[in-house]
Amino acid sequence: MAARVAYGLGLDFGTNSVRALLADVRDGREVATAVADYPSGQAGVILDKKDPAVARQHPGDYAVALTKCVKAALRQAAKLRGFKPERIVGIGVDTTASTPLPIDAHCQPLALRAPFRTNPQACAWLWKDHSSYAEAQEITELAQLERPEYVARCGGTYSSEWFWSKALHCLRVAPRVFRAAASWVELCDYIPALLTGCTDVAKLRRSICAAGHKAMFHRSYGLPAADFLMRLHPELARLRGRLYEEAYTADQVAGGLSSAWARKLGLVAGTPVAVGAIDAHLGAVGAGIKPGTLVKILGTSSCDMLVTPTSTKLADIPGVCGIVAGSILPGHYGIEAGQPAVGDLFNWWVGNFDGRPDAHERLTAAAQRLQPGESGLLALDWNNGNRSVLVDVRLTGLLVGQTLHTTPAEVYRTLLEATAFGARVIMARLEEFGARVRDVVTCGGIAEKNALLMQIYADVTGRPIKISRSAQTCALGAAICGTVAGGTKRGGHGSMAAAQKAMCGLKRTVYKPRRAAARVYDELFTCYGQLHDAFGGSGRGTAVDNVMKDLIGLRTRARRGT
Amino acid sequence: MAARVAYGLGLDFGTNSVRALLADVRDGREVATAVADYPSGQAGVILDKKDPAVARQHPGDYAVALTKCVKAALRQAAKLRGFKPERIVGIGVDTTASTPLPIDAHCQPLALRAPFRTNPQACAWLWKDHSSYAEAQEITELAQLERPEYVARCGGTYSSEWFWSKALHCLRVAPRVFRAAASWVELCDYIPALLTGCTDVAKLRRSICAAGHKAMFHRSYGLPAADFLMRLHPELARLRGRLYEEAYTADQVAGGLSSAWARKLGLVAGTPVAVGAIDAHLGAVGAGIKPGTLVKILGTSSCDMLVTPTSTKLADIPGVCGIVAGSILPGHYGIEAGQPAVGDLFNWWVGNFDGRPDAHERLTAAAQRLQPGESGLLALDWNNGNRSVLVDVRLTGLLVGQTLHTTPAEVYRTLLEATAFGARVIMARLEEFGARVRDVVTCGGIAEKNALLMQIYADVTGRPIKISRSAQTCALGAAICGTVAGGTKRGGHGSMAAAQKAMCGLKRTVYKPRRAAARVYDELFTCYGQLHDAFGGSGRGTAVDNVMKDLIGLRTRARRGT
C-alpha cells in the first residue's frame, strides 16, 4: 500500500454531464467530487427535430464542463489537510462509447473550426445516435458473409451505435465533413489527447477498449482489412489508413498534462494522463472486477462485465456483446453482455399501470409480501429487445399466467423476476463457454435502493449479490487508472490489481440465495427458458403447453405454503 | 299472426333476482316488466365462510320473489287499455342451471320442512357452486374410460357445476339430506311444478334442456346407466330410479296454473305453464335464434348458442359444451359453447390497471383511436380458463408484444380483440363440424353499450354482428314459450318459429366487417391460433418464434398506414 497521502483523479464523461472524482490511493476514499453539465443542446444532447434517431454532442462542451467540474472538485479538496495538486499521481478518463468525432491533423475537432462550426455532422456522434441503422445492417451482412471473425466476438451483429456504422453514414450524408477529417477518434481517445496537448494525430494513443468493442479492432489483425472496407465504400477503406494500428489498455500513459491545461485546471503540468476507456468498463474496474466476479452496472439497462485471464484461451461466446483482450483489465479478456431494459422496464410499469402518485412505494411494499411463485405469473423481459444472448432488437415483452385476480403489484414483482431470469441466462451462457461466475457485484442507483430486486437476483441466480461501496464506480475506475498510470514512484500503484485491492470496496450488505426461494425459482426458470427459446427462436418449436399449468401448480403450492 | 290482443308471461330466475315480463304476442312488445330480489343470503346467494366454493339458494326465496315481481308487472299492465289477466295465453319459465335441489315425494323442497330448514345442503345448489370439484373429476374419468358417449356431447369433461357432481357430493357430505330426498329436480323443473301445483314427483315434467346439458340425459338411452352410476356410488344408482325417463321441450305444457297460485298472483287458474329451460337457451330463443344465426349472450362471460335441424345428422363437436336435441328449439339440436371471461376480463383490466376514476371512458376513447395491429400487442383471453374449444380451466391469460411505450389503452383494446379471436375459434370449430354460422346476434348489456367491441367482433369474425332488440332476451324467450304452450286457440302461437317470427326483433344498427381491418385481423388471428395451440396443448410444439416479429411487422404497417 502507498504510504504517502496521494490521490487519483477520475474524469467520467457521461451522456449529460462530466464528473470529476478525487480518490485516496490508500483506501479509495472519495475525498472530492463534482459534476458539470454540458452547455449545448437538450441536457447536452443535440437533437434533430426531423429525425429522432439523431443524437450529437458539441465537442466544445467537453472542455467547458471538464474545466468546471475539476475546479469545483479541487475547491473541495483544498479544505483537506495537506492536500496539494502535486499529490495527484495521475488522471484517468472514461467516456460513453461509441461516440466518435471527426478531427483534423492537429487533433482539433472539425466542429470547432470553420466551415463546420454549426454542422451537427461534424460534432461527436453520441453512442445513442441510431441514424446509421441501415449501415449497421450492411456491415453485419457483409461481415457474416465474408469475415465472420469480425463480428464473432460481438455476438454476430454489428450495431448502429458503433464506429464504422457512424463513419459510413457520415460519409453518405455529409461527404464534405467526412473528407475534411484527417481522422476520427473515439471520445475516450479525444479527451486524453486534449489534456496532453497532443497536436499530431499520428501520435494519438487509442483505447483498446473502444477499438476492440466498437471498431472490430483485434490485436492479431488490427482494424478490419482495407478490402473489406472497400466493399462498403472506397473512402472508408482510405480512412483506415488514417486511423491506427495499435491500441492501449487504460493503465498505460497517454501523455503528461499540458502546461496550458495544468494552468487552466490548477493542476501540475506533466501529471500522467492514462489512456481512456469506455465508462462501463472502468465502472467494472471501480466495482472491483476480478476473475469470477461479474459486475452488473444497473441503470435504465444493465451492463454485465466479466474478465478471464488471457493466459487461458477463451472461445467466442455466442450472443455476448463483446470480448476484447485488455478492455477492462490488462492481461484479461474483457467480456461485455447486457440487458436493454431493467430500470426502464420497472419504470414503464410503475409509471403507467397503477396511476396513483405513490405507485412505486405501494407496488414495492405489496410485491415484497409475495412469495416466489405465488402470483402464478411469468414474464419475458424483452420490452426493449434482447441484447444477450439473443442479440435481437425485434423481440418484445410477454406476460403469462394472469387470472381475473391478478394485481399490478404481482405484475411488478414478475417484471423484477424476469430481469433476474434474463441475468441468469447470461451467466449460464458465460459459464457454458468457460467464463466462471462465482459472485456478483452490482452498482448503480437500483443496486443501492432496491433491496427486493437484489434479493430476487440472489435467489434466482443462486449467487451472492454484493453492492459496490462506491456510488460512482465509473469515475472511481478512472481514478484507479490514473493511480496506475502515475505509478509507484509518484505514490500511485504498480498494477491495476494492486490499485483495485486498495481502492475498491463493498457495502456490508450481501444478499445470499435462500434455499426455499431458489428451489421455486429453479422451476420458474425452466418455464422462462422454454418461453425464451420458443419466442426467441433459439429453440424453434419448443413445447410450451406445460407452462400455464406449471405456473398454476407453483402458485397453488406457494399459497399453501408447501 | 295472432289477431287478438294477447300476452305471454315470461319468468326469468337469475342468480340474484327474478324478472317477470309481459310481451305482446303480435309483435313482442314488452308491455310490462318487473324485478324482485331473493331475500336470503348475500344478494340471494347463501355462502359458506369456510369454503368459497359453496353457493346455495333458499327454495323459499323463489316463491317470494316470483310473487312480488309478477304482481308488480301486473300492476303496470293494468294501466294498458284492455288488459285483462285472461289475455295471458301462457307462462314460460327459464332459470339458471344446473341448480338442482332435493325434494320429497310431494315435490316439496327439503329445505322447506323439518328437520332440514336451516341446512344449506338441503337448499338449491346454485349453478356456480363448485364444491363438488372432486366428484366432477371422478365422473369425467369414469366416463372417459367406460362410457365416453356420456361426455362426448359436452366436450369430454363433466363439470363441477352439473347435476351428478352435486348430487354425489351431497351424498358424501350430507348423506341424511341425500337419503331423505325422494328425488332431485332442476330449478327449471321445480318452478313449473310449483306453479302447476304438482304434488306427485312421478308426474313432474322435466326439461330436456337441463336433462341433456347437465345430467347426461339422451333420448336414445335416457339417464346414465345404473351400472355406471353404481361405480360412483350405489346410492347414486338407486337415485336414478327416482328421477325420470322422459324429458320435454320448452314449447310443451307442464300443466295448468293452480288455483292457489292463480289467486296469489292475480292470474287465471288453468293458464298453461310451459316446461322450463335454461336461461341462456331461452335467451337464444328471445334473440331470434335460427339455423345459421349464432346468438352470443354477452355478460361477464359469453354463451354462444346455435341450432341445426335434427333432420340432418350432426357429429359430436370436440370442445363444445353441449349438443342436445330440443334444448333450444324443438326439432333442432341445441348447441352451446362459450368463453368464461368477457365482461369480467375487461372489468379486471379497467378496474385494476389504470386506477383513475374515469378509467373506462378514457380507455375506451383511446382504444377507439387505435388501428388494428397498431399496438403490436396480442393476448389470449384465458384469464378464467378456456371453455370452448379447449375445455380447460387450468389455462391462464397471456399478453405479448409489449414495449416500453405500451399503454393501458393499448392493452385494453388487445383484450377486446382477444375475446373476438376466441369467438372466432368457436365459430371455426362449429363450421368445421358442419354447423354453419352466417351471422351473429348479440344480446346483453355489453352488446348494447360497447360499439367498439361489436365492430371488432365484426372485423375479426368476418360476419355481420346484429343486436337483439330486447334487452331481456331470456325473459322474452320464456314469454315466447308461454305463447306456444298456450297455443293458437288461446290467442298464442302454433310453433316456436311462428312465435319468434312475430315477437323477436333486432336493433337497427348492424356492425359490418370492414375489409381493411379484417385483413389485418386475419394475420393477427394466425398468430392467435399459434399461441392458442402452443399454450392450449392442442398443437404441442407449435412454433411461435415468428409471433413477436409478425406483430412488429403489423405494427409498423399500421403506423405507416399501409
Q: Do A535 and B544 touch (CB under 8 A)?
A: yes
Burial B202-226 (b: 16+ CB within 10 A, else e): eebbbbbbbbbbbbbbbeeebbbee
- Which residue in A354, A407, A545 is closest to B535 by CB distance? A545
pLDDT reported for residue A3:
53
Report pLDDT digits (tens) over A550-561: 999 999 999 888
Cα(B562)–Cα(B350) distance, integer angstroms? 31
Cα(A445)–Cα(A442) distance, integer angstroms? 10
Report pLDDT digits (tens) over A348-359: 999 999 877 889
Q: What is the identity of the amino acid at A33?
A: T
Element (H, E) at B468: strand B465-468
Whether the pLDDT of residue A408 is over 70: the answer is yes
**Which residues of chain B does A355 touch, with a Cβ-Cβ cutoff of 8 Å?**
354-356
Identify the weakest region by mean pLDDT among A74-83, A532-541, B40-49, B497-506. A532-541
Strand pairing of B30-37 and B17-24?
antiparallel
Cα(B281)–Cα(B474) distance, integer angstroms? 8
Max intra-chain CA distance, chain A: 74
Cα(B120)–Cα(B53) distance, integer angstroms? 13
Sign (positive/negative) of CA torsion A168, B553, A344, A293?
negative
DSSP, collapsed to helix, strand or coil, labels residue B96 as coil
DSSP, collapsed to helix, strand or coil, labels residue B163 as helix
Q: Provide residues of A within 8 Å CB-CB of chain B.
A: 341, 344-345, 348, 352-356, 376, 382-384, 394-408, 534-537, 540-545, 547-549, 551-552
Superfamily for domain range A294-469+514-562 = ATPase, nucleotide binding domain (3.30.420.40)
pLDDT reported for residue A49:
87
- Which residue in A344, A400, A540 is closest to B404 by CB distance? A344
**Could you write out the three-class secondary structure of B415-467?**
HHHHHHHHHHHHHHHHHHCCCCEEEEEEECHHHHHCHHHHHHHHHHHCCCEEE
Residue with cell 424483452: A382
- Which residue in B407, B541, B548 is closest to A396 by CB distance? B548
Cα(A96)–Cα(A16) distance, integer angstroms? 10
Give A340→chain B minimum CA distance, Å: 11
Q: Do B345 and A540 touch (CB under 8 A)?
A: no
pLDDT reported for residue B538:
81
Give A283→chain B minimum CA distance, Å: 26
**Which residues of chain B does A344 touch, with a Cβ-Cβ cutoff of 8 Å?**
404
Candidates A354, A377, A386, A396: best to mutate against B (most CBs of B within 10 A) is: A396
Candidates B347, B404, B546: best to mutate against A (most CBs of A within 10 A) is: B404
What are the 10-residue block averages of pLDDT along chain B, 562 residues in total?
79 97 97 97 92 93 98 96 94 97 97 94 95 94 94 85 97 97 98 98 97 95 96 97 97 98 98 98 98 96 96 88 93 95 95 86 96 97 93 92 96 98 97 96 91 98 97 97 97 98 97 97 98 91 93 92 74
Q: Do B403 and A383 touch (CB under 8 A)?
A: yes
A411: Cα within 13 Å, side-chain hemisphere:
28
Q: At what angle do helices A343-352 and A359-368 cross, to 10 degrees?
A: 110
DSSP, collapsed to helix, strand or coil, labels residue A321 as coil
Give A412→chain B minimum CA distance, Å: 11
Q: Name the closest residue on chain A to residue B407, using Cα atoms.
A: A352
**Which residues of chain A does B398 touch, with a Cβ-Cβ cutoff of 8 Å?**
398-402, 548
Q: Do B397 and A408 touch (CB under 8 A)?
A: no
- Which residue in A394, A537, A540 is closest to B552 by CB distance? A394
Q: Do A402 and B399 touch (CB under 8 A)?
A: yes
Cα(B522)–Cα(A236) distance, integer angstroms? 46
Q: Measuring CA to CA, how many Å separate A213 from each of A230, A291, A321?
A: 21, 19, 8
Give A543→chain B minimum CA distance, Å: 4
Identify the weakest region by mean pLDDT among A147-151, A256-260, B205-209. A147-151
Strands (E), A422-502: 437-443, 465-468
Sign (positive/negative) of CA torsion A221, A226, A231, A233?
positive
**Which residues of chain B does A534 touch, with a Cβ-Cβ cutoff of 8 Å?**
534, 543-545
**Which residues of chain B does A542 touch, with a Cβ-Cβ cutoff of 8 Å?**
541
Residue B502 CB neighbours (<10 A): 19
CA-closest candidate to residue A201, choices A239, A161, A162: A239
The answer to whether A153 and A323 have CB atoms below 8 angstroms apart is: yes
Here the cell at position B266 is: 292475480
Q: Provide residues of B within 8 Å CB-CB of chain A.
A: 341, 344-345, 348, 352-356, 376, 382-384, 394-408, 534-537, 540-545, 547-549, 551-552
Identify the weakest region by mean pLDDT among A54-63, A195-204, A348-357. A348-357
Here the cell at position B365 is: 376513447
Cα(B322)–Cα(B312) distance, integer angstroms? 17
- Which residue in B403, B536, B543 is closest to A396 by CB distance? B403
Give A409→chain B minimum CA distance, Å: 10
**Which residues of chain A does B339 touch, with a Cβ-Cβ cutoff of 8 Å?**
none
Give A371→chain B minimum CA distance, Å: 19
pLDDT reported for residue B430:
96
**Which residues of chain B does A535 touch, with a Cβ-Cβ cutoff of 8 Å?**
400, 544-545, 547-548
The answer to whether B122 and B102 have CB atoms below 8 angstroms apart is: yes
**Radius of gyration from C-alpha coordinates of chain A:** 24
Q: At what angle do helices A133-146 and A163-173 cross, to 10 degrees?
A: 120
What are φ and ψ of residue B277, in 5° steps? Answer: -155, 175
Whether the pLDDT of residue A272 is over 50: the answer is yes
Q: Do B407 and A352 touch (CB under 8 A)?
A: yes
Cα(A210)–Cα(A226) distance, integer angstroms? 20
Q: At what angle do helices A515-536 and A451-461 cross, to 10 degrees?
A: 80
**Which residues of chain B does A540 touch, with a Cβ-Cβ cutoff of 8 Å?**
543, 545
Residue B86's Cα: distance from chain center in Å? 32
Continuous H helices in A175-223: 175-180, 187-196, 208-214
Q: What mean pLDDT comes out for the span A448-473?
A: 96
Q: How much is the mean pLDDT over chain A?
A: 95
Q: What mean pLDDT comes out for the span A137-166?
A: 92
**Which residues of chain A does B540 touch, with a Cβ-Cβ cutoff of 8 Å?**
543, 545
Q: Do A376 and B395 touch (CB under 8 A)?
A: no
The answer to whether B187 and B13 have CB atoms below 8 angstroms apart is: yes
Residue A436 CB neighbours (<10 A): 13
**Which residues of chain B does A536 touch, with a Cβ-Cβ cutoff of 8 Å?**
545
Residue B433 CB neighbours (<10 A): 16
The answer to whether B33 and B472 have CB atoms below 8 angstroms apart is: yes
DSSP, collapsed to helix, strand or coil, labels residue A264 as helix
- Which residue in A398, A407, A536 is closest to B400 by CB distance? A398
Q: Do A540 and B545 touch (CB under 8 A)?
A: yes
Cα(B556)–Cα(B561) distance, integer angstroms? 9
Q: Could you confirm whether domain B7-279+474-506 is CATH 3.30.420.40? A: yes
Size of interface A-B (CB pairs under 8 A): 125
Give A359→chain B minimum CA distance, Å: 10
DSSP, collapsed to helix, strand or coil, labels residue A325 as strand
Interface predicted TM-score (ipTM) of this complex, two decimals: 0.92
Cα angle value A131/A134/A139 (rounded, 5°): 115
Q: What percent of chain A has pLDDT over 70?
A: 99
Sign (positive/negative) of CA torsion A548, A553, A557, A560?
positive
Q: What mean pLDDT comes out for the span A241-249?
A: 97
Domain with CATH 3.30.420.40 in chain A: 7-279+474-506, 294-469+514-562
pLDDT reported for residue B319:
85
Q: Name the closest residue on chain A to residue B382, using Cα atoms.
A: A403
Here the cell at position A530 is: 422454454
Report pLDDT digits (tens) over A277-322: 999 999 999 999 999 999 999 999 999 999 999 999 988 888 887 8
Identify the weakest region by mean pLDDT among A149-153, A452-456, B63-67, B542-546. A149-153
What is the separation, in whole angstroms, between the first and last Cα of chain A? 53
- Give me the torsion for CA of A444, A446, A449, A452, rounded to 10°: -140
